[in-house]
């Protein structure tokens, strides 16, 4: 079954034929509107030129951290094009070669203001398992009057650059229909307008059909569609603006292009200081690595703390074995003081920090492991503990900070009586927490402030 485009709405996947019947109102704009949009190509190209001129300074995309020495997607990897997949209004069109009248291709323009070596290309899509394709193909064409100068396999035009690879090639990373190409030998595009094309070749009964996803950006000219043998009956036998071929307001394809020293996303390697999976977490900071032996810690040199204690101490010169916690969103890679606490009864405990100028946080863990954090607070945190069990109260430094502090541990009843105000979500064990959060989502999504405490001031 061949379809022209696919709409993804929640869990609804609808393949739509030339009759343009879908499960959502696409907001038809009419052919006149399409013509107007296409006629704006020259004006829009100036806007795209401004965007592309940021290549040397724009160091981040909406998904990945680039240009920063964290390895993702490379220590000196810079954005050329950032047109992310539109998750809100998800739609894509066929860019698949079957060897019949339904062969169809898509292209989107990139405007360069200076010669640019191309290193990494991302063309996200849906509908196909690209590991089962017979070939995966990329090409870049020069511009001819607001469209690519040639069509794949037209037997006439030679692209500026092209490559055809088998699935499993070491320069390809694909996850279903999400595919990246690492250009091992970068090709340099001169300044000007260039059209990027990607298509999958294969059997629909095994590979499926590749639908290249749309973006919600509006850079340069409208994306182009061609179905040379008109199997879809749209008359788009030469490059045609998508807004003319079908009823849509989409302007761009989802396309990310980088230059410089870039890498493919792989599974995280838990050493070496490189963010292989591009999630922003390196080595033992990555949740994938927490179970690794090399990322485990041993609390063999701890002090003890008891109910009612006040401890004046410092993290300066202390050990540094805990650098990340599953309840913290920032690195806690300063030195830390670890206190072992054995609960004398079932009751609530509150650990409070004061007298510190350094960026210190206080944690309560139910074992000495990075993935066993119960609660954390900037200045105070609280939880309910069980008689006879051992817990760890840790004072750690955010982003390497260190300094003096005062730590107070107060033990109370089995209810926390409203907990304490903190900037972290939830209060870590107050029996009425769930009810408060149901009434005020802020309390469990942003911070447990004084209003949350007041709402939970009585716990039966």
pLDDT of amino acid 140: 98
Based on the number of CB atoms within 10 Å of its own CB, is 62 exposed (0-12), middle (13-18) or buried (19 or more)? exposed
More confident residue, 250 or 75: 250
Is residue 185 located within the same domain as residue 252? Answer: yes
Mean pLDDT of the chain: 81
What's the pLDDT at 129?
A: 95
Residues 348, 221, single domain; the answer is no
- Does pLDDT of 419 surpass 60? yes
Tokens of 326: 């599953």
The C-alpha atoms of residue 126 and residue 15 are separated, in whole angstroms, by 11
One domain, residues 407 and 430: no
Same domain, yes or no: 40 and 65: yes
Residues 305 and 347 in one domain: yes
Residues 88 and 198 placed together within one structural domain of the fold: yes
Confidence of residue 15 (pLDDT cuts 50, 70, 90): low
Given this model, what pLDDT does residue 157 score?
A: 93
User: Do the Cβ atoms of 135 and 221 come closer than 8 Å?
Assistant: no
Residues 39 and 126 in one domain: yes
pLDDT in tens, 351-410: 989 999 899 999 999 888 777 888 888 888 888 788 999 999 999 998 889 999 999 998
Reading phi first (left if > 0) and then psi (alpha if -120 to 50, else beta), residue 36 is in alpha
pLDDT at 152: 96
38 and 106 share a domain? yes
Query: How does pLDDT run across 154-211, given as a tens digit for each residue?
Result: 999 999 999 999 999 999 999 899 999 999 999 999 999 999 999 999 999 999 999 9
Considering the domain architecture, whether residues 195 and 319 belong to the same structural domain is answered as no
Residues comprising the chain, all counted: 460
- Which of 261, 284, 313 terminates a domain? The answer is 261
> Structure tokens of 393?
């109260």
Say if residue 82 is in the same domain as residue 195.
yes
Contact status, residue 108 vs residue 48, Cβ threshold 8 Å: no
Q: What is the mean pLDDT of residues 13-28?
A: 36
- Give residue 368's pLDDT: 82
> Is 291 a member of any domain?
no
Q: Which pLDDT score is estimated for 388?
A: 93
Residue 355 counted as domain residue: yes
How many domains does the chain contain in total?
3
For residue 301, the enclosing domain spans 297-414
pLDDT at residue 312 greater than cutoff 90: yes
- What CATH number is associated with residue 337? 2.60.120.380
Q: What confidence score (pLDDT) does residue 441 get?
A: 81
One domain, residues 310 and 206 = no
Looking at residue 81, its pLDDT comes to 95
- Please report the pLDDT score of residue 435 as a whole number: 73
Does 289 fall in a domain?
no
Position 350 scores a pLDDT of 84
Instruction: Note whether residue 276 is domain-resident.
Output: no
What's the confidence (pLDDT) of residue 326? Answer: 77
Q: What percent of the chain has pLDDT over 90?
A: 50
């Amino acid at each position: 079954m061949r379809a022209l485009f696919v709409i993804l709405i929640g869990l609804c996947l609808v393949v739509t034929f030339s009759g343009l019947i879908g499960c959502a109102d696409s907001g038809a704009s009419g052919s006149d509107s399409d013509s107007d949009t296409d006629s704006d190509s020259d004006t829009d190209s100036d806007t795209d030129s401004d965007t592309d001129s940021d290549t040397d300074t724009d160091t981040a995309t909406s998904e990945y951290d680039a240009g920063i020495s964290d390895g993702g997607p490379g220590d000196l990897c810079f954005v050329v094009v950032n047109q992310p997949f539109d998750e809100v209004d998800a739609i894509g069109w066929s860019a698949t070669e079957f060897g019949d009248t339904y062969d169809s291709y898509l292209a989107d323009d990139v405007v360069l203001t200076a010669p640019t070596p191309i290193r990494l290309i991302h063309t996200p899509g849906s509908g196909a398992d690209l590991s089962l394709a017979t070939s995966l193909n990329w090409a870049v064409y020069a511009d001819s009057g607001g469209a690519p100068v040639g069509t794949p396999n037209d037997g006439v035009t030679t692209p500026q650059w092209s490559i055809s690879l088998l699935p499993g090639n070491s320069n390809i990373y694909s996850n279903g229909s999400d595919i990246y190409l690492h250009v091992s030998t970068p090709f340099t595009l001169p300044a000007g307008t260039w059209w990027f094309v990607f298509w999958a070749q294969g059997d629909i009964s095994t590979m499926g059909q590749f639908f290249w996803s749309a973006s919600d950006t509006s850079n340069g000219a409208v994306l182009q569609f061609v179905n040379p043998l008109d199997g879809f009956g749209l008359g788009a036998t030469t490059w045609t603006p998508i807004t003319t071929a079908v009823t849509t307001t989409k302007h761009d394809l989802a396309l990310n292009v980088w230059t410089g020293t870039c890498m493919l996303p792989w599974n995280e390697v838990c050493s070496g200081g490189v963010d292989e999976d591009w999630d922003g977490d390196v080595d033992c900071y990555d949740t994938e690595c927490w179970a690794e032996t090399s990322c485990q810690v041993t609390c063999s040199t701890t002090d003890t703390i008891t109910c009612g204690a006040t401890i004046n101490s410092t993290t300066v010169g202390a050990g540094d074995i805990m650098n990340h916690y599953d309840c913290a969103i920032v690195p806690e890679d300063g030195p830390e003081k670890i206190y072992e606490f054995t609960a004398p009864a079932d009751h609530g405990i509150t650990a409070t920090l004061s007298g510190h100028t350094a960026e210190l946080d206080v944690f309560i863990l139910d074992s000495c492991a990075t993935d066993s954090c119960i609660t954390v607070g900037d200045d105070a945190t609280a939880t309910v503990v069980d008689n006879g069990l051992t817990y760890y109260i840790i004072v750690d430094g955010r982003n390497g900070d260190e300094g003096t502090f005062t730590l107070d541990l107060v033990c109370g009843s089995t209810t926390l009586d409203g907990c304490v105000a903190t900037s972290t979500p939830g209060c870590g064990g107050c029996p009425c927490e769930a009810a408060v959060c149901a009434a005020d989502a802020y309390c469990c999504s942003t911070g447990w402030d004084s209003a949350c405490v007041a709402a939970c001031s009585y716990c039966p």
